A and B are shown apart, each in its own frame.
Chain A
Amino acid sequence: MPIPRAAHPAPSWFLLLALTLPALGCEWVANDLTFEREAIPIYREHERSQVPTVSPTRLKVMAWNVKYGACRVDFWFDFWGDRTQLSSTEVSDCLTGVAKLIEEYNPDILMTSEIEVNSRRSAYVDMVRFILEHTPLRFAAYGQTWDSRYVANEGLGRIDLGNAIFSRYPIVKAERIRQVDRTDQSVIIKTFYIHRAITRVELDLGSDRRVAAYAVHTEAYDFDGTKQKQIDQIYKLATEEAKVMPFVLGGDFNELPPVCDERADAGTPESCEGKLQLKDFPDERASSKGTSYEQPPYTPSVMKKFYDDFSPSITLARYGVGTAAQRPYFSHSVLGPDSVNDQGQPGYWNRTLDYLFIRKNEGWENTDVIQVPGRLGVTADALRLSDHAPTAGTWVLP
């Protein structure tokens, strides 16, 4: 068999290699991430930022799904566009805006999800390094959840995505904890799909004080109860952690707040009727129905135990009942403000999926969802920086 020549249409290689896809390279075609719990590397900024106060009494924290530096570019799985790839300029411009918002709020701890370090779709930009070098955050731990050398879906290519926790205080321990995989996918799809994991770090605040931080991002598209299992696992971990040290837990749960019980019959006190919109959001495109990216039914009741046993940054009382009251705290919209849905409405935050929790008897100050300029003193426009809004607040340490 000859060495392939330039521009020859060489079926020899194409067909043979299609049959020998698990090529004997030095890197696996897809990483199953077969760990249960393992240490992960810690990154440090190159440019030295100001060292924070030793043994603080309060920590500003933020959780943000940064949508792989795509800002409001509509990718194919959202059904409002068909992009599959970003230019270096697009990613750099977007991350500059993301970093500006972070710098304005100036959190001590930032928990991010959908952050990429080496993905083809986001121009192979190391976003962990970018945020470290463009914000006052000094340390980071990246918990990889998707490591595929080539995803043959829409030419997606290489993917290296995960959660990352950034901190102004030294990260002294970092680990990732595997979550369950979906069971409603074929073996091939499952192999090349995301494998969710929780990122956990311990921070040294000085004077022998340590706190923990968790970044989570649960499944978005399953119809087999995977997300609910993942949320249960997060709850159990947090419950155990609460016995050990103070912690903050933040991220995109892909679940609505437990204002009601979706299982309750209409007309009963627990019913969601009139209290919480469960489906038919204005950014859901009809053409997504029946595809792999259809929005599964929400099950807000699985979040109830978090509100019972931990302290949320936005309480249910503050969240309120009904869309009008809840609207200031919505944190997600697939559709951006410069696009309109099939009814001609521009995109705006329309549901809450992102949360911050601390231990039950610890306090919050100045919490909010940074939806638009002016919230928590931030002038950057989060609506144009991601399909999720940052959730933030000041954690009063015990």
Chain B
Amino acid sequence: MSALLLALLLSQAAEPVAEPVAGPVPESDLPRAARDTADVGPAGRWSAGFFNPTRLAIADSFELEFHPILFFVAPNLVGRFALSKEAVRVTIEAGLLVPTFGMRLTKGYLFPTWATSANDIGWMVIPRIGVLISGNVRKHDVWTLRADYAGRVLLGRNSATPLESFLAPLDLLMAAPTTGFLGGFGGAYDAAITQRLRLRAAVNFYVSGAANQNLYVDGNNLGPLAPRDPFIITTHVGLDVAVFKHSRITIGMLWGNYDQGATAIVLDKDGFAERVRGRSNNFLPTLDYIWAGGFGD
């Protein structure tokens, strides 16, 4: 509600989207760029959030992306290469994640300690590839389609099982490391409402390896784990509020729908109970502050 009030206040106070005028317009006078699109560069452009990844354009068509907070416990790096920078932009992404050490830091909480055996979270790398396609609808509105796939390459014995938590983002984050793969596709629309406000809506569909997992103890397969519905749906609606020259605050809400193992009790015609499985919903607030630079103004 506070986000809506803030949005309303800012949209009334702010100027309309700037129309093109003769001569170059400083980028700080334009609406903030749409986020998480196929757009890459130009060289020297960077952005970093508390929670959002850091992006640094090495060249006009190539940028690097990583999460600095996790980098030292889960080394990660993604390269983004623009194949096309025409009206419809196409970018491919390829990256690597080594999550083992970070996962091991959560032993005792999210994973077993395995205090009396040699079982452990195995060393692994998670390569990921993805493609993004973006285009403009109005001057500053951007649509984006994306698809990606991450798979696990085990480098030794692994006893970690799927997390099966109650938080969709955490389960997505751990899906490839614990179920073997995560594939997804989705779309987003990022609209410039005013010069200082952007509204972004996205929907994503994922499939993980949760349906076919086995329990490994001391290297032995002890049989299947309970199968889970591997399909996950998320939607996110977020509002970006421009602050200072190039930075922004983002606030939003994520909805996730997937199988968290929940059951409900239903009664038959005679009043007797039956337990039935169902999918669960997550509604999670999102918030970040994103710095940006390298605009040259």
What residues of chain A have their CB less than 8 Å away from a CB belonging to chain B?
Answer: 1-17, 20, 23-27, 29, 41-44, 76, 79-90, 117-118, 120, 123-126, 129, 149-150, 152-155, 157-158, 160
Contacts of A24 in B (CB 8 A): 282-285
Query: Does A150 lie within 8 Å of B265, measured CB to CB?
Result: no
Contacts of A129 in B (CB 8 A): 275
Give chain B interface residues in 72-117, CB to chain A under 8 Å: 74, 76, 78, 95, 97, 99, 102, 108-117
Contacts of B254 in A (CB 8 A): 3
Give chain B interface residues in 22-43, CB to chain A under 8 Å: 35-36
- In Å, the complex CA distance between A226 and B36 comes to 54
Query: Does B280 lie within 8 Å of A43, measured CB to CB?
Result: no
30 A-B contacts, Cβ less than 8 Å apart? A5-B130, A5-B148, A6-B130, A7-B97, A7-B126, A8-B76, A9-B102, A12-B50, A12-B52, A12-B67, A14-B70, A14-B170, A14-B173, A17-B170, A42-B272, A44-B270, A80-B116, A81-B117, A85-B225, A87-B224, A88-B226, A89-B223, A89-B224, A124-B226, A149-B166, A154-B112, A157-B163, A157-B165, A157-B261, A158-B164
Known pairs A10-B67, A82-B117; A3 contacts B173 (CB<8 A): no
- Tell me if B281 counts as interface (CB < 8 A to partner A): yes
Query: Does A125 lie within 8 Å of B226, measured CB to CB?
Result: yes
- Tell me if B150 counts as interface (CB < 8 A to partner A): yes
Query: Does B170 lie within 8 Å of A6, measured CB to CB?
Result: no
Of B95, B110, B116, B126, the contact of A155 (CB 8 Å cutoff): B110
Query: Does B115 lie within 8 Å of A1, measured CB to CB?
Result: no
- Tell me if B184 counts as interface (CB < 8 A to partner A): yes
Known pairs A6-B149, A8-B128, A25-B281; A88 contacts B51 (CB<8 A): no
B contacts with A, residue count (CB < 8 A): 93
Query: Does B172 lie within 8 Å of A4, measured CB to CB?
Result: yes
Give chain B interface residues in 255-285, CB to chain A under 8 Å: 260-263, 265, 267, 270-275, 280-285
Of B76, B273, B286, the contact of A1 (CB 8 Å cutoff): B286
Of A17, A41, A149, the contact of B273 (CB 8 Å cutoff): A41
Known pairs A1-B287, A42-B272, A88-B223; A6 contacts B206 (CB<8 A): yes
- Tell me if B11 counts as interface (CB < 8 A to partner A): no
CB distance from A112 to the nearest CB of B (A): 16
Query: Does A82 lie within 8 Å of B224, measured CB to CB?
Result: no
Query: Does A9 lie within 8 Å of B67, measured CB to CB?
Result: yes
Contacts of B182 in A (CB 8 A): 6-7
CB distance from B208 to the nearest CB of A (A): 9
Who on chain B is nearest to A154 by CB?
B112
Query: Does B67 lie within 8 Å of A3, measured CB to CB?
Result: no
Of A1, A14, A23, A124, the contact of B261 (CB 8 Å cutoff): A124
CB distance from B42 to the nearest CB of A (A): 21
Query: Does A10 lie within 8 Å of B173, measured CB to CB?
Result: yes
- In Å, the complex CA distance between A160 and B272 comes to 19
CB distance from B135 to the nearest CB of A (A): 18
Query: Does A87 lie within 8 Å of B76, measured CB to CB?
Result: no
Known pairs A2-B35, A25-B166, A43-B272; A123 contacts B226 (CB<8 A): yes
- Tell me if B161 counts as interface (CB < 8 A to partner A): yes
Of B109, B150, B173, B286, the contact of A152 (CB 8 Å cutoff): B109
Chain A CB within 10 Å — which of B53, B186, B267 has the most?
A: B53
Who on chain B is nearest to A21 by CB?
B167
Who on chain B is nearest to A43 by CB?
B273
Query: Does B51 lie within 8 Å of A1, measured CB to CB?
Result: yes
- In Å, the complex CA distance between A90 and B222 comes to 7
Contacts of A8 in B (CB 8 A): 53, 67, 76, 78, 95, 97, 128, 173
Of B76, B126, B286, the contact of A16 (CB 8 Å cutoff): B286
Known pairs A20-B285, A24-B285; A6 contacts B161 (CB<8 A): no
Known pairs A3-B234, A23-B282; A85 contacts B167 (CB<8 A): no
- Tell me if B202 counts as interface (CB < 8 A to partner A): yes
Query: Does A27 lie within 8 Å of B36, measured CB to CB?
Result: no
- In Å, the complex CA distance between A334 and B163 comes to 28
Contacts of B284 in A (CB 8 A): 17, 20, 23-24
Known pairs A6-B130, A8-B97; A84 contacts B282 (CB<8 A): no
Query: Does A7 lie within 8 Å of B112, measured CB to CB?
Result: no
- In Å, the complex CA distance between A158 and B162 comes to 12
Contacts of A13 in B (CB 8 A): 51, 167, 169-170, 172-173
Of B70, B116, B164, B166, the contact of A29 (CB 8 Å cutoff): B166
- In Å, the complex CA distance between A264 and B164 comes to 50
- In Å, the complex CA distance between A86 and B225 comes to 8
- In Å, the complex CA distance between A80 and B116 comes to 8
20 new A-B contacts at CB < 8 Å, known A13-B51, A16-B287, A76-B113: A1-B287, A2-B236, A3-B186, A3-B188, A4-B173, A7-B128, A9-B173, A13-B172, A16-B51, A23-B284, A26-B281, A27-B166, A27-B260, A81-B117, A82-B119, A87-B214, A88-B223, A118-B262, A124-B261, A155-B109
